[in-house]
Amino acid sequence: MVSVEEAAFREKANPSSRPLGGNVAGGNLALTLGLIAVAGLLIARFVLAATTELAEDEAYYCMWSKHLAAGYYDHPAMIAWWIRAGTEIFGDTAFGVRFVGLLSTVAGSYLLWRASLALFADRAAALFAVVWMNATILSAAAGIVATPDTPLAFFATCVLFAIAKLVETGRGAWWLAIGAALGLAFMSKYTATLLLPGLFLWMVGTREGRRWFLRPEPYLGAVIALVAIAPVVWWNYVHDWASFAKQAAHGVKDKPANAIASIGELLGGQAGLATPLIFLFCLWGSFYALARGLRRGDARWLLLGGIAAPMWAFFIVHAASQKIQPNWPGLVYPFAILAAVHGGLAVLGHRRAPVLRVAFIAAPFVGVAFTLVALLQLGTGAIPIEGKKDPTARMKGWATLGVDIDRLRREHGAGLVLTDRYAITGELAFYGMGAEGVAQINDRIRYANFPPPDEARLKDAPALLVLKAGSQAKTSLPFDSAVQIGTVTRPGGLRPRDAYAVFLLSGYRGGLFACNPTTKRGETCSQM
């Protein structure tokens, strides 16, 4: 626990704990404008969450929420629970699917503010950190798109807040909150384990941290974390460790042709999602905080840098041998944002660096500009970008596609609609046939928690098969006849190319869903 005398010394010695306006010219005006911009972005998030269509993954996770379980093939269960909670309130609407995630971004901003206050006792700087976080496209996406990254980011922020309160108060009870937050983060996405090396580094690297090795509270917190993750561990045990194996393979299967280009792609993706200046400050601030924390044994700085910097190093090194998706490093930003803001204020408090000062003030406003353009494109499609190159096109045209395919189904008296991809399966379930009216013919392990499809509907009536244009899945199906009856293109973006071939299947011979979803053994398993 930090003594009163030591706290007073740090208050004088640390420039980031002085009022923001005392460090940066026009700081108070910049902060006010930033908060106004954040309020506007928050309103835009709520409007777009209610009016934009679900992305493929969101619709797939919405299917999960109709069959709640302790785990699923792709991820732990948290996103399904969140979606179920939202749709219980607002029904099966896009806003219902996204509602809890939206609230989590607001609650996460509050916890980030409180964590900053606990560490540095500066309200202006804490609010500035909230502005930085909400100025990123990543934060906007977390509020609008319901994926496991949203609860992961929230519970990572909970971890940050709980450790910050531990540093501030020295009360061991905060270890119980740390354990609960870590467990819930893992129940959101398995990459939450990347928080653990930094936490251990913080414990061994500071006097405040080392004393906890001889106290019972951290071990009680570990027990709470284990209890929290027990459901998904049990689900994996029952299902032959399918989800753990899938994610382990997912982390090593996409080998890049060029290591340098892959690292550049990672960094470019982060500059896009976090926006350029914020990302650069976050990357620098993480390693600055690590160095300052280790050099001075300062628990506050080592908390931020000790968790953020190793994660950056992991993703950069890993990118040399594996393609990293832009959303994967998302859990680092609550720590990196605080490191960037307080690190920048600390440096600017000691040095005359006009260019750095301007860049620091401009960073959130550049972020807001980038985010506004992204939200404008999502809401209006005002920028003429080809659908294949427009990331927002993934959230457009699904309702129209669902209506078109349902019309073909009714015109030909078909029963079930069959697919070969989870993405189109989820979208058609949400925007057309319902979860019981559509079934994926392969990868049945994805639906291990679902009741089996009603094969009587295949015997009593023809079926529709919807395939991505060019797919060959129809060649191995147990039907006497497969006749293409049309091609449907999903509208979205300029010159959309997301086309689907629709086949009418008849003469069902049985055995389509014979594959055991747990063991992947059966007639269709070899096609998975």
Task: State the pLDDT at residue 8.
Answer: 43
Cross-sheet strand order for the sheet of 463-468: 438-440, 417-419, 463-468, 499-508, 479-489
First-to-last C-alpha distance (Å) of the chain: 55
| CB of 441 closer than 8 Å to CB of 477 | yes
pLDDT 10s digits, 452-504: 888 888 888 999 999 988 776 656 788 989 899 999 999 877 777 789 999 99
Tokens describing residue 363: 């960073």
Across residues 163-170, what is the average pLDDT?
96
78's CB contacts (< 8 A; 6+ apart) are: 148, 151, 184, 187, 188, 189
At 440 the three-state DSSP class reads: strand
pLDDT 10s digits, 301-342: 999 999 999 999 999 999 998 888 999 999 999 999 999 999
pLDDT 10s digits, 361-397: 999 999 999 999 999 999 998 888 887 788 898 999 9
- Would you say residue 400 has pLDDT above 60? yes
Q: What is the C-alpha to C-alpha distance for residues 264 and 249, in angstroms, rounded to an integer?
A: 23
pLDDT band, residue 11 (cuts 50/70/90): very low
pLDDT band, residue 252 (cuts 50/70/90): low
Q: What is the C-alpha to C-alpha distance for residues 141 and 324, in angstroms, rounded to an integer?
A: 18
pLDDT 10s digits, 255-313: 888 889 999 999 999 999 999 999 999 999 999 999 999 999 999 999 999 999 999 99
Task: State the pLDDT at residue 15.
Answer: 46
Task: State the pLDDT at residue 243.
Answer: 93
pLDDT band, residue 13 (cuts 50/70/90): very low
pLDDT band, residue 27 (cuts 50/70/90): low
pLDDT 10s digits, 463-472: 999 998 877 6
**H/E element, 489:** strand 479-489
Query: In terms of DSSP H, where are the helices of 52-93?
Result: 56-65, 78-90
Q: Which residue has the tokens 């500066």?
A: 122
* DSSP-assigned letter for residue 19: -
Q: Provide the 10 A C-beta neighbour count for residue 285.
A: 27
374, with CB counted inside 10 A (0-12, 13-18, 19+), is: buried
Q: Provide the 10 A C-beta neighbour count for residue 43.
A: 10
Task: State the pLDDT at residue 516.
Answer: 54
Q: What is the C-alpha to C-alpha distance for residues 131 and 36, in angstroms, rounded to an integer?
A: 9
pLDDT 10s digits, 38-89: 899 999 999 999 999 999 999 999 999 999 999 999 999 999 999 999 999 9
Task: State the pLDDT at residue 460.
Answer: 87
Neighbour-count burial for 89-121, b at 16+ CB within 10 Å, e otherwise: eeeebbbbbbbbbbebbeebbebbbbbbbbbbb
Over the chain, what is the mean pLDDT? 89
Query: In terms of DSSP H, where are the helices of 121-216?
Result: 123-134, 137-144, 149-169, 174-186, 195-205, 207-210
Q: Give the Cα-Cα-Cα angle 181, 183, 186 (nearest 5 degrees).
A: 110
Task: State the pLDDT at residue 381.
Answer: 87
Tokens describing residue 522: 């059966």
Q: What is the C-alpha to C-alpha distance for residues 52 and 125, in angstroms, rounded to an integer?
A: 34
9-13, 201-205, 227-231, 287-291: least confidently modelled range: 9-13
